[in-house]
Amino acid sequence: MVRMAEISQATLTELEATSNKIRQSIIEMLTEAGSGHSAGSLDMADVFTALYFHVMRNDPNNPEWEDRDRLLLSAGHICPVRYAAMAHRGYFPIQELMTLRKFGSRLQGHPERIRLPSVETTSGPLGEGVAQGAGMAYAAKMDKKDWRVYVVTSDAEHQAGLHWEAAMFAGHYKLNNLINIIDRNFIQIDGDTEKIMTLEPLADKYRSFGWHVLECDGHDMQAIVGAYDSAKAVTDKPTVIIAHTIPGKGVGYMEGDYTWHGKPPSAKEAEEALRELRASLEEIEAKA
């Protein structure tokens, strides 16, 4: 496990509150859309909050800023969390989240680079994020640019062959400006990742491909930020952060249940989820 980041209590509380609000938006937009992926979207809210609000060099008023850090969501199906994080960060109005998956929306069911500035890649077909991110990281090194490439992958997409082609490439060329974080929630559409197709020992696989490996609690903001701080200090390898997460995190009846991988809550279920999340927000704010 990683060293905790030294961030102030005020910042910590703010990040946790933001993460909670992003979860509320995810519930609202998925319910409005009537389809989409709940569990992974909810469980990556803390990581996306850390990235957009603390870790990454980004500017919502200049999304295609040449020197921005690049964030690639390889597991495109959990795009609600990215869209919600972008909206809360100020990239577009929060109200636009309600257009998710609708005709004419910039918020496609799986993200498209040409429709929404700074999503960097078109994703959904699994296993392609690290490959494209490695290309960007290589180009940055060729041009002696100091921006970094952050990739978010699901655990199950590590079953795709292309992902390991990319892992081999990034290790071979020592792309230390490439940081991949894995949503290690142990679920995929058909069930438990270890029953469908064993991924473990995942950390050893990465080590043998020449990566620096970190593990953290994917719901502990200090641990997430601490992991990214450590990754940025690595000079000769790409880094992977295995973020241990609970699918559906924040909504009691979804937590740990793989059947929420690919469906949205009903209106009634959404109400219950939002009630729970609002209560959590009050607790967070009471700490401040």
Q: Is 135 in the site for other proteins (CB under 8 A)?
A: yes
CB-based burial of residue 198 (10 Å sphere; 0-12 exposed, 13-18 middle, 19+ buried)? exposed
Helix pair angle (161-172, 129-142), 10° resolution? 20
Taking residues 148 to 167 in sequence order and writing x for each that binds other proteins by CB under 8 A, - otherwise, the string is -------------xx--xx-
DSSP label of 262:
S
Give Rg (Cα) of the chain: 18
Contact 129, 153 (CB under 8 A): yes
Of 36-44, 55-63, 116-124, 243-251, the segment contacting other proteins by CB under 8 A is 116-124
Which member of 113, 174, 205, 263 binds other proteins (CB under 8 A)?
113
Binding of residue 121 to other proteins (CB under 8 A):
yes
Is position 128 an interface residue for other proteins (rule: CB under 8 A)?
yes
Specify the residue, 100 or 160, whose C-beta has the smaller distance to other proteins.
160
Q: Specify which residues 180 forms β-bridges with.
A: 151, 240
Per CB under 8 A, which region of 18-26, 140-148, 189-197, 242-250 contacts other proteins?
Answer: 140-148
Please identify, using beta-carbon distances, which residue of 113 and 263 lies nearer to other proteins.
113
Written as six digits, the tokens of 129 are 């994020």
Angstrom distance (rounded) from CA 278 to CA 231: 33
d(CA 13, CA 45): 15
Which residue number, 31 or 108, has a Cβ lying nearer to other proteins? Answer: 108
Site for other proteins in 74-103 (CB under 8 A): none
**Using the rule CB under 8 A, is 142 a contact of other proteins?**
yes
- Specify the residue, 16 or 120, whose C-beta has the smaller distance to other proteins: 120
Which one among 73, 86, 131, 241 touches other proteins, defined by CB under 8 A?
131
Does residue 209 belong to the site contacting other proteins (CB under 8 A)? no
Binding test (CB under 8 A) with other proteins, winner from 124, 210, 256, 262: 124
CB environment 205-239: b (16+ within 10 A), e (fewer):
bbeebbbbbbbbbbbbbbbbbbbbbbbeebeebbb
- How far apart, in whole angstroms, are the C-alpha atoms of residue 103 and residue 109? 10
d(CA 112, CA 108): 7
State the nearest-atom distance from the C-beta of 38 to other proteins, in Å: 24
Determine the Cα angle at 186 with ends 191 and 283, to 5°.
115
The residue from 114, 267, 279, 286 that contacts other proteins (CB under 8 A) is: 114
Binding of residue 169 to other proteins (CB under 8 A): yes
Give 6 or 66: the residue with its C-beta nearer to other proteins. Answer: 66
Q: Out of 33, 97, 100, 140, point to the residue binding other proteins (CB under 8 A).
A: 140
Q: How far apart are CA 230 and CA 233, in angstroms?
A: 5
Question: How many residues in the shown chain lie near other proteins by CB under 8 A?
Answer: 27
Binding region for other proteins (CB under 8 A): 112-114, 120-122, 124-125, 128, 131-140, 142-143, 161-162, 165-166, 168-169
